[in-house]
Chains A and B, each alone.
Chain A
Amino acid sequence: MATTTPTALRDIQLDEEGRLVHFLTTEGLSREQLTAILDRAEAFAGVGERAVKKVPLLRGRTVVNLFFEPSTRTRTTFEVAASRLSADILNLNIEHSATRKGESLLDTLHTLEAMQCDLFVVRHANSGAAHFIARHVSPGVHVINAGDGRHAHPTQAMLDMYTIRRHKGRFEGLKVAIVGDILHSRVARSEIHALKTLGVAELRLVGPKTLLPPGIETLGVELYHDLRRGLEGVDVVMMLRLQHERIQGPMLPGAGEYFRTYGLTRSALEAAAPDAVVMHPGPINRGVEIDSSVADGPQSAILRQVTHGIAVRMAVMAEVMGASPREAS
């Protein structure tokens, strides 16, 4: 008798015709699907520069920002993106309210559904939370993952892809290094899947052994423990934020030593290609993972990433809501 097939990873973010109905992870999406999001973001990028910064694409629809973890910038960019699409927006910071009173996540969800919301933008401290919510919402309700534990942060990854495409015009042939705390990073995991699918030539993960999870090499990446070697000849440097609690925990000796070994300084950046672009999902820790002269330097794309975040999140929202691009004009 055959071995059991557990409830396998059915890609619940796609409907039967393979269309994106939730955006939970960059894993498992095709190059065409990822490119379609980037193209759409390109079209939306102009909206922010107009005097009237709105398109009526999601008029009459309700978007709920469901944040179980504090966040300012991600929540704000989703809010701006939804507002530019003319949606109604509801911000819920659940970390202060319902679940604290013992209400289960599922009950919170059903209560909100009863208010006839169309889209949940979810951030949660536990890996898999967005999948869990997507599996339990009513048909016709969409879910966008705004970060779940260490698992995925797909819209951040897509805005990083957008930024790379803007700067480099392509993915083929690029050498990319992701530097820092890979173990705890949902951004890194989403970037890895997207970059592999979009066809970069080489993807390196750079960090100390304590911050590189065993088994990550199975994703087709190369591991480096030495920053300069890891940066040698790369076209894109993607820095990761080092959370404060990591510095105090047993995984690292301290911020000073981390900066000396893995901090991106101008001298370290010299190992990369001369036109290498430097990115960071923010908020940056100056003098911990990156030096100010690099963060504010000519090769930095960090602030542009934030701007791109709005167009990319508009694109993702429109995509999962099945809003046709014709209505956008």
Chain B
Amino acid sequence: MRLSVTCGRLVDPASGLDQVTDLHLADGRVVALGEPPEGFVPEQVLDAAGLLVLPGIVDLGVSLPEPGGGRHASLRSEAPAAARGGITTLIGLPDTTPVIDNPAVVELIHQRADAAGGARVLCSGALTQGLMGERLADMATLRDIGCVAVSNARSPIVDSRVLRCALEYAATVGVTVLLFPAEAGLADGVVHEGAVGARLGLPGVPETAETIALARALLLVEASGARVHFCRISSARGAQMVAEARDRGLPVSADVSINHLWLDETAVEGFDTSARLDPPLRAAADRQALRAALADGGIDLVCSDHRALDADARLAPFSEAPPGASGVDLLLPLTLELVEEGLLSLSRAVEALTGAATLLGLPGGSLSPGAVADLALVDPDAEWLASPETLASAGSNTPFLGRDLRGRCVATLIEGEVVWQAGADWSARTP
């Protein structure tokens, strides 16, 4: 399959490219920029005039809807929804039921994802068996069957000796560890421990839940040499600790959820369960610091932190509603809005959306010749409203419902194939 994307604004932070030109794809890869190669005849041409042509988003650390999820969301709903949101690779956490701690579960997910279409679904395997924080999982086996990282997801590892061994073993096997920094004894609240939680009488999670866990993990990274990525930094102090550790030369990186860049603790006012997140939305000053850290690279990546919940899950008193928000539809427009606000350059925004590919050595994340042709074609001016009807995810559990958005993916290509394309207002021409 040969395909040309013409006249789009190509933005590729990996190669420093930002230029209006043509892009030519063949056999699932980028073959040329600008002039097509000698004798190249495309079977399909996508007119991208007025559009951004970006490497597809690589969304690190989502909750997979199956096996064992809710009744409504499935890979069949969420992987295509992600593709519509410009995401070409989803990296799932191992906290499925059963847990991704053996090859059979990985194979099941890969099979179902193949049948589902849409975004490529990759797995992170368990760091400890059953995520129980007691015995190490078969990390080498999981790596060999295709897991791109290992993680204990949101399950705590209370025993520091286990964490130490897990990091040492991961370093031995050569897999990156995704850690959610949360000290178990301090993290059993439902909102940020601060003014809003104190007033509403909701149990709080203090900032120290994050910083204590980070401090322990950073010291063990230093001792073990493990490559660790911290998921969902939520506090100013946490962002600062990661940045300082990296400056000291530790092999660490971090991400922040798009929710935490737009919302703070006040979003739970009125006991709004759609703003119940883990880690919780923190103070306004934390939000500002997270934004600044994403802009200056102190935090590497922005992610959706996607978790699609059944519609009735949030119909409960605040503490009884499960945490999490659907996000694959919203990650792209809400990140582009940070560009519009002047917080991020477009290049930095794209880097933050796609950098997980480089971080984990995955395909995609680049428009350079030879790269796997995972692309998102984006109309930066398309305006739309977040509503259960416009969101492709089966979960409409998001604190952004009813919000005006700007910027929408109009076509998504994975390995050079169009997997999603908007109708009506924009369509491809076939010569």
Interface residues of A (CB under 8 A from B): 1, 3-4, 6-10, 12, 27, 104-106, 124, 126-129, 131-132, 136, 148-152, 186, 189, 213-216, 218-219
A126 touches B274 (CB 8 A): no
Q: Which residue in chain B gives the minimum CB-CB distance to A10?
A: B270
A105 touches B317 (CB 8 A): yes
A6 touches B399 (CB 8 A): yes
Given A10-B270, A149-B201, 10 other A-B residues pairs in contact with their CB atoms under 8 A: A8-B270, A104-B315, A127-B201, A127-B202, A127-B319, A150-B203, A214-B204, A215-B196, A216-B199, A219-B198
When A1-B406, A7-B272 are in contact, do A128 and B199 touch as well, CB less than 8 Å?
no
B404 touches A132 (CB 8 A): no
When A104-B315, A128-B317 are in contact, do A6 and B267 touch as well, CB less than 8 Å?
yes
Kindly state whether residue B381 has any CB partner on chain A within 8 Å: no
Q: Which residues of A contact B317 (CB under 8 A)?
A: 105, 124, 126-129, 132, 148-149
Contact indicator per residue, chain B 44-61, by CB within 8 Å of chain A (1) or not (0) = 000000000000000000
B262 touches A150 (CB 8 A): no
Q: Which residues in chain B, 190-206, are within 8 Å of chain A measured between CB atoms? A: 193-204, 206
CB distance from B185 to the nearest CB of A (A): 9
CB distance from B383 to the nearest CB of A (A): 10
B204 touches A149 (CB 8 A): no
Interface centre among B272, B274, B399 (most CB of A within 10 A): B272
Q: Which residue in chain A gives the minimum CB-CB distance to B334?
A: A4
B198 touches A104 (CB 8 A): no
Q: Which residue in chain A gives the minimum CB-CB distance to B341?
A: A1
CB distance from B401 to the nearest CB of A (A): 8
Q: Which residues of B contact A128 (CB under 8 A)?
A: 200, 202, 271, 317-319
Kindly state whether residue B27 has any CB partner on chain A within 8 Å: no
A127 touches B271 (CB 8 A): yes
| 25 A-B pairs (CB sep. < 8 Å) | A4-B400, A4-B403, A6-B263, A6-B269, A6-B274, A7-B274, A8-B269, A104-B316, A106-B312, A126-B320, A127-B201, A128-B319, A132-B317, A148-B317, A152-B201, A189-B199, A189-B201, A213-B197, A214-B194, A214-B204, A215-B194, A215-B199, A215-B204, A218-B195, A219-B198
Expressed in whole angstroms, the Cα–Cα distance for A71 and B238 within the complex equals 43
When A1-B340, A9-B270 are in contact, do A106 and B320 touch as well, CB less than 8 Å?
no
Kindly state whether residue B275 has any CB partner on chain A within 8 Å: yes
Q: Which residue in chain B gives the minimum CB-CB distance to A126?
A: B317
Expressed in whole angstroms, the Cα–Cα distance for A104 and B195 within the complex equals 30
Kindly state whether residue B129 has any CB partner on chain A within 8 Å: no
Among A6, A152, A186, the residue within 8 A (CB) of B272 is A6
Q: Which residues of B contact A189 (CB under 8 A)?
A: 199, 201
Q: Which residues of B contact A218 (CB under 8 A)?
A: 195, 198-199
Kindly state whether residue B337 has any CB partner on chain A within 8 Å: yes
Q: Which residues of A contact B194 (CB under 8 A)?
A: 214-215
Dominant secondary structure of chain A at its interface with chain B: loop
Q: Which residues of A contact B155 (CB under 8 A)?
A: none
Kindly state whether residue B102 has any CB partner on chain A within 8 Å: no
B193 touches A214 (CB 8 A): yes
CB distance from B177 to the nearest CB of A (A): 31
A105 touches B270 (CB 8 A): no
Q: Which residue in chain A gives the minimum CB-CB distance to B199?
A: A219
Kindly state whether residue B266 has any CB partner on chain A within 8 Å: yes
Nearest first, the 6 A-B pairs at minimum CB distance are: A128-B271, A150-B201, A151-B201, A215-B195, A215-B198, A126-B317
CB distance from B200 to the nearest CB of A (A): 6
Q: Which residues of B contact A1 (CB under 8 A)?
A: 337, 340-341, 404, 406
B399 touches A131 (CB 8 A): no
Interface residues of B (CB under 8 A from A): 193-204, 206, 262-263, 266-267, 269-272, 274-275, 312, 315-320, 337, 340-341, 399-400, 403-404, 406
CB distance from A186 to the nearest CB of B (A): 6
Q: Which residue in chain A gives the minimum CB-CB distance to B193?
A: A214
Q: Which residues of B contact A216 (CB under 8 A)?
A: 195, 198-199
CB distance from A304 to the nearest CB of B (A): 27
Expressed in whole angstroms, the Cα–Cα distance for A124 and B408 within the complex equals 43
When A7-B270, A9-B270, A189-B199 are in contact, do A213 and B204 touch as well, CB less than 8 Å?
yes
Expressed in whole angstroms, the Cα–Cα distance for A149 and B319 within the complex equals 10
B315 touches A214 (CB 8 A): no
Expressed in whole angstroms, the Cα–Cα distance for A12 and B198 within the complex equals 20
Q: Which residue in chain A gives the minimum CB-CB distance to B204?
A: A213
CB distance from B338 to the nearest CB of A (A): 10
Q: Which residues of A contact B399 (CB under 8 A)?
A: 4, 6
Q: Which residues of B contact A8 (CB under 8 A)?
A: 269-270
A213 touches B271 (CB 8 A): no
Expressed in whole angstroms, the Cα–Cα distance for A136 and B263 within the complex equals 25
Expressed in whole angstroms, the Cα–Cα distance for A72 and B203 within the complex equals 26
Among A4, A148, A152, A214, the residue within 8 A (CB) of B262 is A4
A127 touches B195 (CB 8 A): no
Q: Which residue in chain A gives the minimum CB-CB distance to B281?
A: A6
Expressed in whole angstroms, the Cα–Cα distance for A150 and B195 within the complex equals 14
CB distance from B284 to the nearest CB of A (A): 10
Among A27, A104, A126, A131, the residue within 8 A (CB) of B319 is A126
B275 touches A6 (CB 8 A): yes
Q: Which residues of B contact A6 (CB under 8 A)?
A: 263, 266-267, 269, 272, 274-275, 399
Among A27, A124, A214, the residue within 8 A (CB) of B198 is A214
Q: Which residues of A contact B262 (CB under 8 A)?
A: 3-4
Q: Which residues of B contact A186 (CB under 8 A)?
A: 201
Q: Which residues of A contact B206 (CB under 8 A)?
A: 214
CB distance from A60 to the nearest CB of B (A): 31
Q: Which residues of B contact A7 (CB under 8 A)?
A: 270, 272, 274
Expressed in whole angstroms, the Cα–Cα distance for A152 and B200 within the complex equals 8
Q: Which residue in chain B gives the minimum CB-CB distance to A4?
A: B403
Q: Which residue in chain A gives the minimum CB-CB distance to B275?
A: A6
CB distance from B403 to the nearest CB of A (A): 5
Q: Which residue in chain A gives the minimum CB-CB distance to B272?
A: A7
CB distance from A42 to the nearest CB of B (A): 29
Expressed in whole angstroms, the Cα–Cα distance for A136 and B315 within the complex equals 9
Q: Which residue in chain B gives the minimum CB-CB distance to A7?
A: B272
Q: Which residues of B contact A104 (CB under 8 A)?
A: 312, 315-316
Expressed in whole angstroms, the Cα–Cα distance for A239 and B196 within the complex equals 24
Expressed in whole angstroms, the Cα–Cα distance for A305 and B316 within the complex equals 33
CB distance from A136 to the nearest CB of B (A): 8
Q: Which residue in chain A gives the minimum CB-CB distance to B333?
A: A1
Expressed in whole angstroms, the Cα–Cα distance for A27 and B199 within the complex equals 10
